[in-house]
Amino acid sequence: MDDKFAPYKRYRVGVHYQEGAVLTIYADSPEQAKEKAQEILDDTEADYPYVDEQKIVHRETMVTDIKEMENN
């Protein structure tokens, strides 16, 4: 255990975190935009303060829709 957490006791706490976001992605096609968005989702991990260690036990991601931006 890291000394920065002394003299606290450790507690195992399960959490559920759900978030929706809209990303503006530069791509050649809707398919490429979806692929890039999924890469971002796969590589993104939550950062929790006051946590000594974390273990992701479930994660669900999806791309919900793709729309070409105006003024391209």
Domain boundaries, the chain: 20-66
Tens-place pLDDT, residues 43-60:
887 777 777 777 778 888
pTM: 0.67
Q: How far is CA 1 from CA 14, 26, 55, 63, in A?
A: 19, 43, 16, 38
Q: According to the model, what pLDDT value does residue 67 have?
A: 92
C-alpha–C-alpha distance, residues 50 and 45, integer Å:
16
Q: According to the model, what pLDDT value does residue 18 have?
A: 84
